[in-house]
Amino acid sequence: MEWGEVESMPTNGVLVLVLMAAAAWFLGGLVPLVGASVIALFAGAVVRNTIGTPQALAPGVEFTLSRLLRLAIVLFGTTLSFAEIVSLGGASFLVICVTVVLALGLTGLFGRWVQAPPGLVSLIGAGTAICGATAVLTVGPIIEAKKEEIAFAVTTIFLFNMAAVVVYPLLGHLLALPDATFGVWAGAAIHDTSSVMAASLAYSEPAGRAALVVKLTRTLMLVPLALVFGVIAHRYRSVSVARIFPWFVLWFVLAAGLNTLGLFGPGTVRLAGLLAKFLVVMVMAAVGLSADLRRMREIGLRPFYIGLFASVLIAVVSLGLIRHLIG
């Protein structure tokens, strides 16, 4: 997403996203099979690729994609107990580790087979295995990837994130997956946190709770992954753990801990959960407003093939492991 130099405050963009989310929320209630998040995503994409997104909205879109998404995560923490986090995170840890290693290794082999640039392959593998664009932007400077490789990788990951919001709930219903199983699968396989939350909440609220815990556990893998890439690239000292650590995860755990102690009443928990879900719909509208389909067409097919291979691989492997190890 290239917004150019924008000096305005995020107010206008946030207000537009609130209105888009409110409309999508209303329509999602009328068509629950589709859901508010998917409606918001496609509405944003239609606006971006027809009339375009005004530059004045850019700060609000970026603010929503970063700050408001993290606020939604923390608010969801108030609806969970610490025991749920430990249980779900611990049970899924082996699934996450195996899936990450396989995604990185096999994506690397596939990228070599299609003769794609090694840097691009590493970036798509990292984004698919860990946490989407965040992993790409973290690993890129460490391996000294070219700017166009980073842009191509982010765009490719972005495309499959949008597809996951629609495809995963459909597959979940087709396979008749229990809420918990679907939540663990979404958290272990979908790339970006925003798409994980949108897809899992479209399935069910229990699935959303499980997915978020698993996804945040997976996000923590970014730290050792970045250190490994740093060692391989002989740039270990350039990797700042404090800079790449996802500190909002700790706020999420703290919120769950306070809820476990009974410091939040039932009304507060319900309100926090409702606000968090609305913020996710806003985030999906922002994702849609960031979807430059022309840019996606320009990147060519090799990144798409690598992203498709990595996305299918992580989906199949993680679901198989979940069914075998967790049930």
Domain membership of residue 131 (yes or no) is yes
pLDDT tens, position by position, 17-72: 999 999 999 998 887 777 888 898 889 989 988 888 788 888 998 899 888 888 98
Outline where the chain has alpha helix (H): 11-30, 36-50, 58-63, 69-77, 82-113, 118-126, 133-142, 147-174, 179-189, 193-203, 205-219, 222-232, 241-244, 248-260, 266-289, 293-298, 301-321
For residue 7, the model assigns a pLDDT of 43
Between 243 and 106, the more confident residue is 106
Helices 118-126/147-174 angle, 10° precision = 40
Share of the chain above pLDDT 70, in %: 91
pLDDT tens, position by position, 227-241: 787 777 665 555 666
Q: What does the mean pLDDT of the chain come to?
A: 84
Specify burial of residue 1 (Cβ count, 10 A radius: 0-12, 13-18, 19+). buried
Segment 300-314 shows an average pLDDT of 86
d(CA 210, CA 224): 23
Please name the amino acid found at residue 9.
Answer: M
For residue 275, the model assigns a pLDDT of 94
pLDDT greater than 50 at residue 6: no
Domain membership of residue 133 (yes or no) is yes
Domain membership of residue 10 (yes or no) is no
Domain membership of residue 60 (yes or no) is no
Segment 119-138 shows an average pLDDT of 85
d(CA 142, CA 267): 46
Domain membership of residue 72 (yes or no) is no
Domain membership of residue 51 (yes or no) is no
3-state secondary structure 266-325: HHHHHHHHHHHHHHHHHHHHHHHHCCCHHHHHHCCHHHHHHHHHHHHHHHHHHHHHHHHH
pTM: 0.80
Q: How many domains does the chain have?
A: 1
Residue 177 three-state SS: coil
For residue 9, the model assigns a pLDDT of 52
Specify burial of residue 302 (Cβ count, 10 A radius: 0-12, 13-18, 19+). middle
For residue 54, the model assigns a pLDDT of 83
Domain membership of residue 160 (yes or no) is yes
- Of residues 295, 283, 213, the one with CA closest to residue 38: 283
Domain membership of residue 258 (yes or no) is yes
For residue 16, the model assigns a pLDDT of 93
Q: CB within 8 A of 37, min separation 6: which ones?
A: 24, 28, 165, 198, 199, 201, 202, 280, 281, 284
Give the domain range for residue 90: 80-278+295-326
When computed from its CA atoms, the radius of gyration of the chain, rounded to whole angstroms, is 19
